[in-house]
Amino acid sequence: MSVGSKKLSEVVKPFIAELKPYEPGKPIEEVERELGISGSVKLASNENAIGPSPKAVEALRQCVEGVHRYPDGGSFALKKALADKFEIRPQQVVLGAGSDEILELLAKCFLAEGDEVIFPWPSFAMYPIVTKGVGAIPVAVPLNADFEHDLAAMAASINEATRMIFLCNPNNPTGTGMGQHALDDFMQQVPEGIVVAIDEAYFEYARRSDFPDALAWVRKRPGTIVMRTFSKIYGLAGLRVGYGLTDVETAGYIERARHPFNVNLPAQVAALAALSDEAHVEASRKMNAEGIAYFEKELSEMGLRSWPTEANFLLIKVGVADCYDQLLKQGVIVRPMDGFGLPGFIRVTIGSPNENQIAMTALRKVLEAAR
Ligand SMILES: Cc1ncc(COP(=O)(O)O)c(C=O)c1O
């Protein structure tokens, strides 16, 4: 295929051609089709096994007949509800088709070719993708020996070219979290004019008592954005809605750059209903805590190491090279960590009690086969 006298491969931006697409967790249908099995469980994408809030489901039902209309492009009701909840102004709230879109909008607004973006690694795979996607330079700072952010090394990586920093708290895929003191100490070292995006996709699951009040930094430092999502504890991953809380100026740039109707009508309506369903959030948190306790007990019986988690998943060192494939064959879909430089590790989402049991039984079989 050629365009004029040039091939497409000659005109595509080189940094786009070089991108490796994000690899999502395998869908259940695909695994069952490929392996000819049924009854599999997917613990690969950190979704909420309880499902969506019943209030969100009812709101969705009621909005269906109105989908011939465009949604409210300004998402007035949802922004107001989030602003009220977090005691900020609606003009400080930005919404995206998942917090993924907010990451992209940040890159679009603030990064140019050659700019540097600092983030921890292993961490959320979209950080390098959105960075490279605009020709900026990823500066991946390895986690420390406890798989926590190495904030001293991240601070030492800041230079004249640094435009943006991603923090991931709790960190995906390790589940580890940072406390208030560590965040404060780091933030004090970041010069003005660098955008700091604090990704708190799993915020509602965090249990440590010193989990930071990152919003305090939004209030006092321009160019700080806290990102959260309705995909995780709120159980609305399929609808794609995430939000950012930031200063009015930063929000204003993101508003200019976004599509006019980036959050669709069902997503707005369901997110608004889910936000008010505290019982659903509480039940999800409880099931998650019980699931973590169950996993940790099982894993210690098996002699396997996992890392302290503030989220709805566990990083597990299995030490069996093909454990991901072996679990898959038993119909248990988890996330392999090879792509993060951690062969023999898996990330397992906390599911329902039944799913958790199926996963642990399958893992025992993998270990038995390896011994
Ligand atoms: C740390 C982190 N940030 C952001 C996201 C994106 O979430 P969403 O685009 O569904 O809001 C995820 C999803 O897995 C995540 O783990």
Structural domain ending residue among the three candidates 253, 275, 297: 275
The model's confidence at residue 3, banded by pLDDT at 50, 70 and 90, is low
Contact 199, 99 (CB under 8 A): yes
Q: What is the reported pLDDT for 315?
A: 98
Q: What is the reported pLDDT for 39?
A: 87
DSSP letter at 340? Answer: G
Distance CA 184, CA 224 (A): 13
Give whole-number Cα distances, 80 to 16, 69, 77, 161, 338, in Å: 37, 21, 5, 36, 42
Dmax (CA) for the chain in angstroms is 65
DSSP letter at 27? Answer: P
What is the arithmetic mean of pLDDT over 295-311? 97
The model's confidence at residue 27, banded by pLDDT at 50, 70 and 90, is confident
My answer on whether 185 and 332 are in the same domain is no
Is residue 81 domain-resident? Answer: yes
Domains of the chain: total = 2
Q: For ligand 1, atom 13, name the residue with the nearest CA.
A: 201
Give whole-number Cα distances, 295 to 126, 292, 315, 329, in Å: 27, 5, 11, 21
pLDDT at 1 over 70: no
How far is ligand 1, taken at its centre, from the CA of residue 45, in Å?
Answer: 9
Q: For ligand 1, atom 2, name the residue with the nearest CA.
A: 201
Q: For ligand 1, atom 7, name the residue with the nearest CA.
A: 99
Is residue 9 domain-resident? Answer: no
Q: Which residues line ligand 1 (CB under 6 A)?
A: 46, 98-100, 124, 168, 172, 199, 201, 229, 231, 237, 242
My answer on whether 67 and 122 are in the same domain is yes
My answer on whether 257 and 329 are in the same domain is no
Tens digit of pLDDT for each residue in 142-186? Answer: 999 999 999 999 999 999 999 999 999 999 999 999 999 999 999
How far is ligand 1, taken at its centre, from the CA of residue 99, in Å?
Answer: 6
How far is ligand 1, taken at its centre, from the CA of residue 147, in Å?
Answer: 19
The model's confidence at residue 6, banded by pLDDT at 50, 70 and 90, is very high
Q: For ligand 1, atom 3, name the residue with the nearest CA.
A: 201
How far is ligand 1, taken at its centre, from the CA of residue 6, in Å?
Answer: 38
How far is ligand 1, taken at its centre, from the CA of residue 229, in Å?
Answer: 7
Is residue 32 domain-resident? Answer: yes
Q: Angle at CA 106, nearest 5°, toward 105 and 111?
A: 115
Q: What is the reported pLDDT for 232?
A: 98
Distance CA 145, CA 342 (A): 13
My answer on whether 133 and 179 are in the same domain is yes
Ligand 1 atom nearest 242 alpha carbon: 11
My answer on whether 177 and 72 are in the same domain is yes
Is residue 293 domain-resident? Answer: yes
My answer on whether 196 and 223 are in the same domain is yes
Q: What is the reported pLDDT for 56?
A: 98
Tens digit of pLDDT for each residue in 229-253? Answer: 999 999 999 999 999 999 999 999 9
My answer on whether 166 and 235 are in the same domain is yes
Distance CA 304, CA 191 (A): 42
My answer on whether 197 and 225 are in the same domain is yes
Contact 153, 141 (CB under 8 A): yes
Position with higher pLDDT, 168 vs 37: 168
Is residue 298 domain-resident? Answer: yes
What is the arithmetic mean of pLDDT over 249-271? 98
pLDDT, averaged across the chain:
96
Q: For ligand 1, atom 12, name the residue with the nearest CA.
A: 201
Task: List the CATH number of the domain containing 175.
Answer: 3.40.640.10
How far is ligand 1, taken at its centre, from the CA of residue 200, in Å?
Answer: 9
What Rg value do the Cα atoms of the chain yield, rounded? Answer: 21
From the list 305, 309, 368, the residue with the least C-alpha distance to 342 is 305
Is residue 18 domain-resident? Answer: no
Tens digit of pLDDT for each residue in 185-226? Answer: 999 999 999 999 999 999 999 999 999 999 999 999 999 999
Is residue 269 domain-resident? Answer: yes
My answer on whether 318 and 267 are in the same domain is no
What's the whole-model pTM score? 0.96
| Substitution site in 199, 227, 340 for ligand 1 pocket (most atoms within 8 Å of beta carbon) | 199
Burial 19-45 (b: 16+ CB within 10 A, else e): eeeeeebbebeebeeeeeeeebbbbbb
| Substitution site in 129, 229, 340 for ligand 1 pocket (most atoms within 8 Å of beta carbon) | 229
My answer on whether 263 and 216 are in the same domain is yes
Structural domain ending residue among the three candidates 219, 241, 275: 275
Task: List the CATH number of the domain containing 321.
Answer: 3.90.1150.10
Is residue 6 domain-resident? Answer: no
My answer on whether 259 and 302 are in the same domain is no
Tokens found for residue 231: 């995909």
How far is ligand 1, taken at its centre, from the CA of residue 335, in Å?
Answer: 14
Beta bridge partners of 6: 3
- Displacement of CA 3 from its chain's centroid (Å): 38
Structural domain ending residue among the three candidates 255, 275, 295: 275
Ligand 1 atom nearest 237 alpha carbon: 10
Tokens found for residue 250: 């930063």
My answer on whether 270 and 343 are in the same domain is no
Residue span of the structural domain in which 214 resides: 54-275
